[in-house]
Structure 1
Amino acid sequence: MPDILRGLSVVVTRPASQAAGFQHLLGEAGATAVLFPVIAIVPPENQAVAKAVLAGLDAYDTAIFISANAVRFGLELLDETLQQCLRRLVIGAVGKQTAEALQQCGYPVQWVPGGAFTSEAFLALPETQQLAGRRILIFRGEGGRELLAESLQRRGASVDYVEVYRRVRPKIDANCLKQRHKQQQLDIIAITSSEGLLNLLAMLDNPDWIKTVPLLVGSQRIGETARQTGFTGSIVIADNPSDKAMMQALSHWVQECQ
């Protein structure tokens, strides 16, 4: 899609360590990427808690990774013995990017949905329907959704968490966004989580002006959060929060507006 987005200014709110792929795609299409991370991914404050859970990894038969962040930070906590233990388990991933991150590190993934990057899609897999006797460990960030664990438990599994990272609000100056808006250099804001959207609002002293700016969001649920918090501008909904899906939705929106 060479130059299809030429002249468009897109705010990229992914964590700084995860923004390069989307930034590159935007640049190839002629858009200007404005990097403004609204979430930072960091290790837990007390890693000893996670390490204590992982010390008992051999008691489980299944490990499920919620995200690529869970892969990155979870694997960093495993010594060689625990790495070998993990390879003996059935491994699940909520989404293709998470599965790819595991496979790149040498961990085969048996359970992964082919479509949406959601707990709901994972729970629709045939393998997750009858789980009597299963002992499952979910690798996730602090304060994640409870839907996955609760649903697996209702299907007969014993489920525990290991929280291997946390999401924090970055401390950065948001005035640059307001200045761009005044200069009509802020066309659309890309948001990939409801938490990120709420962080964006909290980072602005007076956020009302931003609620008229179009949003590119990675799910229907994020779009609903945007409306509930007062956004009145266009909301472009991608099929999922991957770079490819976000670009496809953005390109379609631009073509419709021409």
Structure 2
Amino acid sequence: MLRKLVITRPLAQSLGLAQVLRDGGREVVILPLLDILPLPDEAALQAVLAQLESFALVAFVSPNAIDAAFAQVATWPVSVPLAVMGEGSRRALARHGVTAGPYQITSPLDTQRTDSQTLLQALDLPRLQGQRVLIIRGDGGRELLADAMRDAGIDVQQVAAYRRVAPRLDAALRQRLTDLLAQDCDWIITSSEALQVLMGFVQQVDAETGVGKIQHKNVFVPHRRIAETAVSLGFRYVFLTGSGDEGLLTALQSRP
């Protein structure tokens, strides 16, 4: 019997995957552990996007960064190369009409580890030395990419395009978590931050036995960094999938 799947991605990113899984006969629960919200003030984002052609490269840290930026940009200049972390971001660019061929898009070669470090390996950092690079990210994102580029002599500017907020742990969410902890579910986790939120919620809902329950669930993650976070939090059954929905679906099919 196929186990129920819990998708913890933000709602907008969960709907398409949930439908594909349901069409394949899986029972799915959407339980967003992070909400993606616009910035209270988008003036800084709008100002920097008005100067796109002054940058030798624009790097996006996530599909959310792409969607937030393209909400402010009518047409992306073909002369401005882009860099993304993985296949999910490539698909996000494609939704906005930006694809390889007309546009130069760089992404990690290792689809099993799509993060800042592998993106840095794919970039021609010497060519960018002394030039301006823009990193578009969420509010309060990691500094690894920017720091490494600065160390390589690149003039880096960062701008936030959205913010991530954990949902409020109200009575309804408490009950949903309690019910899911008692069931034989597999969990899809696509960010380390969401994993931390989940553990925090479980500790509040059922600190005595809930943590042990969640640590024994199957957890499917798309990146090694998330897998490492899961292991550090005591999860025993962590399955690393390929990048993007295709990798996730393949992994789920091999472990029904």
Whether the TM-score (by the shorter chain) exceeds 0.5 is yes
- Aligned counterparts of 1:115 and 1:98: Cα–Cα separation in 2: 15
Q: Indicate which of 75, 80, 86 corresponds to 1:89.
A: 80
Q: Is the 8 A contact 1:62 1:92 kept in 2?
A: yes
Q: Indicate which of 202, 211, 217 corresponds to 2:215.
A: 211
**Aligned-pair distance for 1:159?**
0.6
- Aligned counterparts of 2:88 and 2:2: Cα–Cα separation in 1: 30
Q: Indicate which of 131, 144, 148 corresponds to 1:151.
A: 148
| Structure-2 residue corresponding to 1:3 | none
- Aligned counterparts of 2:168 and 2:105: Cα–Cα separation in 1: 39
Runs of 4+ displaced beyond 6 Å: none
| Change over 3 Å in CA distance of 1:99–1:7 after alignment to 2 | closer
**Aligned-pair distance for 1:55?**
3.9
Q: Is the 8 A contact 1:11 1:190 kept in 2?
A: yes
- Aligned counterparts of 1:106 and 1:29: Cα–Cα separation in 2: 29
| Change over 3 Å in CA distance of 1:212–1:147 after alignment to 2 | same
Give % identity. Answer: 30
Q: Indicate which of 1, 8, 20 corresponds to 1:13.
A: 8
1:103 aligns with 2:94: yes
Cα RMSD after superposing both structures = 2.1
- Aligned counterparts of 2:144 and 2:181: Cα–Cα separation in 1: 38
Gaps of 5+ in 1: 1-5
Q: Indicate which of 179, 188, 191 corresponds to 1:190.
A: 188
Q: Is the 8 A contact 1:8 1:32 kept in 2?
A: yes
Q: Is the 8 A contact 2:136 2:159 kept in 1?
A: yes
- Aligned counterparts of 1:34 and 1:152: Cα–Cα separation in 2: 40
State the secondary structure of the residue aligned to 1:102: helix
1:162 aligns with 2:159: yes
| Change over 3 Å in CA distance of 1:244–1:72 after alignment to 2 | same
Name the aligned partner's letter for residue 200 of structure 1: L
Normalization by structure 1: what TM-score?
0.84
User: How is 1:53-64 mapped onto 2 (pairs within 5 angstroms)?
Assistant: 53-64=48-59
- Aligned counterparts of 1:45 and 1:174: Cα–Cα separation in 2: 28
**Aligned-pair distance for 1:148?**
1.2
Name the aligned partner's letter for residue 3 of structure 2: L
Q: Indicate which of 230, 234, 240 corresponds to 1:226.
A: 230
Name the aligned partner's letter for residue 93 of structure 1: V
Q: Indicate which of 65, 71, 88 corresponds to 2:66.
A: 71
- Aligned counterparts of 2:87 and 2:217: Cα–Cα separation in 1: 30
- Aligned counterparts of 1:92 and 1:109: Cα–Cα separation in 2: 8
Gaps of 5+ in 2: none
Q: Is the 8 A contact 2:52 2:80 kept in 1?
A: no
| Change over 3 Å in CA distance of 1:253–1:69 after alignment to 2 | same
Name the aligned partner's letter for residue 231 of structure 2: R
| Structure-1 residue corresponding to 2:35 | 40
Which digits, 9 at most, give the CA deviation of each residue in 1:199-223, with x for residues without a partner?
1122232242322222112222222
**Aligned-pair distance for 1:125?**
1.5
State the secondary structure of the residue aligned to 2:254: helix
Greater mean alpha carbon deviation, residues 150-159 or residues 160-169: 150-159
Q: Is the 8 A contact 1:130 1:155 kept in 2?
A: no
